C-alpha cells in the first residue's frame, strides 16, 4: 500500500488539476475541460479564440494551474530535503535567507517599474545572491557547518527584510505601495506560460538531482558521524543540497511572492504516510505539495468576490496544522532531544 501511495496521490493531483480548470467566475463543465485539454494542450494546437471556454481554460487558467502545482511540488520537496539534511522537522526551506532576498529583488523591480518578467528575473537573481552571501558569511565565520549556515541565513534574511521595509516606506503610496504589498502577500494571479517555463525548468533539474541524491540524504539523516563513516562528504553534500533547495525556493518566490508554511508542514504529512526514507518521501511530498497548494489556490480565487492572497491563506491554514502535528509528535516523544 505504501509503495502505491505516490501513484494514487499523483492520480488525485491530475484530477484536481482538471477540476481546478473548471472552477472560477466563469464555470466550465468538466466534460468541456477534458475535451479542451485532450484535444489542444498535449499537441500544442491553436484553439478557437471565439470559443470562450477554450480561452478561459487554455489562456487564463492553464498557466496558473501548472504554475501553482509546480511551486507546491518544489516547496514540498525542498522542505523534505532540508529536514533530512538538518535532521530537524522544524526546519523549512526558507532558512538560508533566499525568500527574503528574492522578496527584496521583486520589490526593487516593482519600484523601478520593470515588466513582469523583469520582476521575476531580479527576484530570482537576488534570491541566489542572498544564498551566496549566506554561504560567504558562514565560511568567513571559520566553519561551514549547518549551524553556521542557518545563522548566516537569519542574518542575511533580516538585512534583506529591513531593506524591503525601507523600500516600502519610500514607495509612492498611491501607485507603487499597493502593488508591493500585494506581491509580498503572495498571489498566482499573474501566471503566464513564461513563468511556468522558468519554474518548470528549475524544478525539473533541481528536483531530479534531489531524487538522484536520495540515498545520500538517507545517510545524512543518520547523523554526520555515521555518514562520514559510510564515505559521504558531508560538507559538500550539505552545501550542494542547500543550493538545489535555494534554486527552487528562489524560482517560486520570483513568480508568486512568498508562500509560507507549505515546505514545513507537507513533509510532516508525507512522513506520516510513507515514513522517513527519502526514496518514498520525496515523491510523496511533491505530490502532496501540489495537491495542497492547488487546493489553497482554488479556495483563494473562489471563496470571496476578491481574490485572497495565497500567502495569507497558507499561513492561516498552515499554522494550526503545524501546531497539531507538533503536539502529536511531541506527545509521542519524536521531537524530544
Q: What is the pLDDT of residue 337?
A: 41
Q: Does residue 329 or residue 307 have the better pLDDT?
A: 307
End-to-end CA distance of the chain: 32
Q: Taking the CA of residue 84 as centre, how many other CA atoms within 13 Å lie in the half-sphere pointing to its CB?
A: 35
Mean pLDDT over all residues of the chain? 86
- Phi, psi values for residue 49, rounded to 5°: -70, -10
Q: Which residue's entry shows cell 531593506? A: 163
From the list 163, 40, 41, the residue with the least C-alpha distance to 97 is 163
Q: CA gyration radius for the chain?
A: 20
Q: What is the pLDDT of residue 99?
A: 87
pLDDT in tens, 182-217: 888 888 988 999 999 999 999 999 999 999 999 899
Q: What is the pLDDT of residue 98?
A: 85
Average pLDDT over every residue of 211-236:
84
pLDDT in tens, 122-139: 988 898 888 888 888 888
pLDDT at residue 1 tops 80: no
Q: What is the pLDDT of residue 116?
A: 81
d(CA 135, CA 155): 11
Of 57-71, 223-237, 267-281, the poorest mean pLDDT is in 223-237
Q: State the CB neighbour count (10 A cutoff) for residue 60.
A: 13
d(CA 36, CA 25): 18
pLDDT in tens, 73-111: 999 999 999 888 887 777 777 777 888 898 999 999 999
Q: What is the pLDDT of residue 336?
A: 43
pLDDT band at 43 (very low <50, low <70, confident <90, very high): very low
Residue 189: helix, strand or coil by DSSP?
A: coil
pLDDT band at 44 (very low <50, low <70, confident <90, very high): very low
Domains of the chain: 5-331 (1.10.3470.10)
Q: What is the pLDDT of residue 144?
A: 55
Q: Does residue 72 or residue 151 have the better pLDDT?
A: 72
Query: What is the reported pTM?
Result: 0.89
Residue 9: helix, strand or coil by DSSP?
A: helix
d(CA 26, CA 38): 20
Of all residues in the chain, what percent are helix, strand and coil, respectively (each to 5)? Answer: 75, 0, 25
pLDDT at residue 141 tops 80: no
Q: Are the C-beta atoms of residues 108 and 164 closer than 8 Å to each other?
A: no
pLDDT at residue 246 tops 90: no
Q: What is the pLDDT of residue 142?
A: 67
Q: Are the C-beta atoms of residues 134 and 117 closer than 8 Å to each other?
A: no
From the list 79, 76, 70, the residue with the least C-alpha distance to 242 is 79
**Best-predicted range by mean pLDDT among 83-92, 219-228, 264-273?**
264-273
Average pLDDT over every residue of 36-45:
64
Q: What is the pLDDT of residue 48?
A: 59
3-state secondary structure 12-62: HHHHHHHHHHHCCCCCCCHHHHHHHHHHCCCCCCCCCCCCHHHHHHHHHHH
Average pLDDT over every residue of 293-304:
92
pLDDT at residue 47 tops 80: no
Amino acid at each position: 500500500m505504501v509503495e502505491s501511495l505516490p501513484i494514487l496521490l499523483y492520480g488525485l493531483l491530475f484530477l484536481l488539476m482538471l477540476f481546478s480548470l473548471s472552477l472560477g467566475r466563469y464555470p466550465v463543465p468538466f466534460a468541456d475541460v477534458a475535451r479542451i485539454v485532450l484535444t489542444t494542450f498535449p499537441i500544442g494546437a491553436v484553439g478557437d479564440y471565439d470559443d470562450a471556454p477554450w480561452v478561459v481554460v487554455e489562456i487564463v487558467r492553464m498557466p496558473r494551474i501548472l504554475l501553482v502545482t509546480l511551486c507546491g511540488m518544489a516547496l514540498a520537496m525542498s522542505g523534505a530535503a532540508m529536514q533530512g539534511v538538518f535532521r530537524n522537522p522544524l526546519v523549512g526551506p526558507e532558512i538560508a535567507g533566499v525568500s527574503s532576498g528574492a522578496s527584496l529583488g521583486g520589490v526593487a523591480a516593482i519600484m523601478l517599474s520593470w515588466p513582469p518578467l523583469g520582476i521575476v528575473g531580479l527576484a530570482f537573481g537576488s534570491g541566489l545572491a542572498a544564498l551566496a552571501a549566506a554561504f560567504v558569511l558562514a565560511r568567513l565565520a571559520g566553519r561551514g557547518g549547518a549551524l553556521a549556515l542557518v545563522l548566516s541565513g537569519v542574518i542575511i534574511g533580516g538585512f534583506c527584510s529591513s531593506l524591503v521595509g525601507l523600500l516600502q516606506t519610500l514607495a509612492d503610496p498611491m501607485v507603487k505601495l499597493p502593488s508591493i504589498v500585494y506581491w509580498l502577500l503572495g498571489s498566482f494571479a499573474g501566471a503566464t506560460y513564461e513563468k511556468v517555463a522558468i519554474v518548470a525548468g528549475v524544478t525539473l533539474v533541481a528536483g531530479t538531482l534531489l531524487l538522484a541524491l536520495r540515498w545520500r540524504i538517507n545517510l545524512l539523516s543518520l547523523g554526520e558521524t555515521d555518514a562520514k563513516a559510510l564515505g559521504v562528504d558531508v560538507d559538500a553534500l550539505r552545501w550542494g543540497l542547500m543550493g538545489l533547495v535555494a534554486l527552487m525556493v528562489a524560482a517560486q518566490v520570483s513568480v508568486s511572492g512568498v508562500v509560507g508554511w507549505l515546505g514545513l508542514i507537507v513533509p510532516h504529512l508525507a512522513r506520516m504516510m510513507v515514513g522517513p526514507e527519502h526514496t518514498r518521501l520525496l515523491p510523496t511530498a511533491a505530490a502532496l505539495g501540489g495537491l495542497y497548494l492547488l487546493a489553497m489556490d482554488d479556495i483563494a480565487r473562489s471563496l470571496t468576490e476578491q481574490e485572497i492572497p495565497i500567502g495569507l491563506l497558507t499561513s492561516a491554514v498552515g499554522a494550526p496544522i503545524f501546531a497539531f502535528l507538533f503536539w502529536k509528535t511531541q506527545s509521542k516523544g519524536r521531537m524530544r532531544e
